[in-house]
Amino acid sequence: MNKLKKSEANYIPVKAEHLPEEKMKWFRDAKFGMFIHWGLYSMLGKGEWVLFHERMDVTDYEKLAAHFDASMFQPEEWARTARNAGMKYMVLTTKHHDGFCLFDSQASNFNSMHSAAEKDFVAEYVQACRNEGLKVGFYYSPMDWRFPGYFFPEMYYENALLLKKQCWEQLRELMTNYGKIDLLWFDGEWLAHGGIGFNEQEGWCRDKNYGQSEYMKVNYFWESEKLIQMIRELQPDIMINNRGGWEGDFHVRERRIGDIRTDKPWDSNDCLAQSWGWMPDKPILSLRELIKNFVNIITKDGNYLLNVGPMGSGMMEDRQIVRLSQMGEWIKTHEEAIYAARGGPFPPGIWGGTVYKDNIVYVHITEWADDAIILPSVDNTLLHFSNLSGDAISVVQNKQEIIIEVPVQHRDPYDTIVQLVFERNIEWEGVLGHENDIYG
């Protein structure tokens, strides 16, 4: 039996406690956050996986740090852009899979203090978030492509343990050196990308069936539950996702939205400009697409974590800032039907969905396939209604259904919002969710 298998056989996980629901209310209420992928790869403009995809020499890649001066890095502008977009929190890639840290790490010299910038970018980012009243989130990848033990843990087991040691030490630094951190967004807890294979066309590459590989479930290697316990001791109120080898306080739906789920917080993360790390000339989402995605997510009781990839200089593209500002103007006009509301109580459809708080339901209609939106009736008397997007509206409640009609000229081009005020507070059992993915 090799040493990796022995570590699996001998591992006894501890109990990793979930954060109480009341401490996650801020996340439930926030709805919208900014994801930022930024690092050495941003200088090359080929995405955050360029080191792996192009089989770059690690030594040559590390030399990029000597030119990483981030001359236009202004975290205050990042945070202001997020706030103006209606976002309530941010998540920054403190370390991606390439191993480069945006913080002053004593566990690795491959960090921003040893770059041309000689800055702790994470420290400045944290302060900028707090100045703008935003919750602070950290992305962290345990993996590091510079370690042979990551790709072949059985062959280079001692090297793999050095990778694990770096992970633990860096997370301790992140949880200790920057004050209160609100959210930890793990990514890349697998070994060898879930399985590495070889073929003559691609050379060494990720196995196509990596999702079923034994390397996808390696909490025993990282000692994930013990790691979560350590993080909880340092940051008692932090929310942690399901990508650290543990099921998490909240769930991640990467580049998908899925079905309504109310029993566990979740986010749907996607890119404003297709790629996570900056790539020039990539098309960006239209305002219509942003609004439709956002409505689809919040009416299913999730959060929208929207990624922006700054250029290597640290500057965000003007066109992306403009689009986010447009989104912020739309949200500001409709914020009563967005923040602090929960998805439900009516099932969403192609037409859109609903959110509610107290005795009010907000019906978000993004598509009019028919002239009427028909909801199932409830044992709760409808007192009055209004069209927040215009003047004319008809709503009829009977024993079987609630029928909503809005004349074409009084429909919003993006999202017609109808307010329904009921006699009593909304009560319903919610929707339990099950995620068919390979994380956690």
pLDDT digits (tens, 9 = 90+) for 213-237: 999 999 999 999 999 999 999 999 9
Largest Cα separation within the chain, whole Å, is 73
Element (H, E) at 42: helix 41-44
Whether the pLDDT of residue 331 is over 80: the answer is yes
Q: Where are the domains of the chain?
A: 3-337, 344-422
Mean pLDDT of 69-87: 98
pLDDT tens, residue by residue, 46-60: 999 999 999 999 999
Residue for token digits 């702790």? 120
pLDDT at 126: 98
pLDDT at 367: 97
Query: Which pLDDT belongs to residue 440?
Result: 62
- Average pLDDT taken over every residue of the chain: 97
- The predicted model gives 25-41 an average pLDDT of 98
User: What residues does 422 pair with on adjacent strands?
Assistant: 382
Query: What local confidence, expressed as pLDDT, does residue 147 receive?
Result: 98
**C-beta separation of 42 from 92 below 8 A:** no
Condensed to tens digits (0 to 9), the pLDDT of residues 355-381 reads 999 999 999 999 998 999 999 999 999
pLDDT of residue 60: 98
Provide the β-strand partners of residue 418: 363, 387
pLDDT > 80? residue 439: no
Q: What is the CATH number of domain 3-337?
A: 3.20.20.80
- DSSP sequence for 105-149: -SS-S-BGGGSSS---HHHHHHHHHHHTTPEEEEEE-S--TT-HH
pLDDT in tens, 391-414: 899 999 999 999 999 999 999 999
Please report how the helices 287-298 and 318-334 are oriented relative to each other, as an axis angle in degrees rounded to 10: 50
Identify the sign of the CA torsion 366, 368, 369, 373.
Answer: positive
Backbone angles phi, psi at 43, to 5 degrees: -70, -30
Q: What is the pTM of this model?
A: 0.98
What pLDDT digit, counting tens, does each position of 119-138 carry? 999 999 999 999 999 999 99
pLDDT score of 425: 98
pLDDT value for 197: 87
pLDDT, tens digit (0-9, with 9 covering 90-100), for 235-266 = 999 999 999 999 999 999 999 999 999 999 99
* Structure-block tokens of residue 382: 């409808």
In this prediction, residue 64 carries a pLDDT of 98
3-state secondary structure of 436: coil
Percentage with pLDDT > 90 across the chain: 94
299 vs 137: CA distance, rounded Å: 23
Contact 384, 395 (CB under 8 A): no
Gap between the Cα atoms of 233 and 242, Å rounded: 18
Strand partners, 35: 91, 307
User: What single DSSP character describes residue 315?
Assistant: P
Q: Are strands 360-365 and 416-422 parallel, antiparallel or unpaired?
A: antiparallel
Q: What is the pLDDT of residue 201?
A: 86
Contact 59, 326 (CB under 8 A): no
Residue 124 makes CB contacts below 8 A (sequence gap 6+) with 73, 75
Residue 394: CB atoms within 10 Å: 12
Reading the block at residue 357, the tokens are: 């708080």
Cross-strand bridge partners of residue 199: 203
CATH for the stretch 344-422 = 2.60.40.1180
State pLDDT tens for residues 158-208: 999 999 999 999 999 999 999 999 999 999 999 999 999 888 888 888 888
Rounded average pLDDT over 306-327: 98
Q: Which residues of 254-269 are buried (b: 16+ CB within 10 A; e: fewer)?
A: eeebbebbbebbbbbb
pLDDT of 36 > 80? The answer is yes
Sign of the Cα pseudo-torsion (276, 282, 286, 292, in order) = negative
What pLDDT was estimated at residue 391?
A: 87
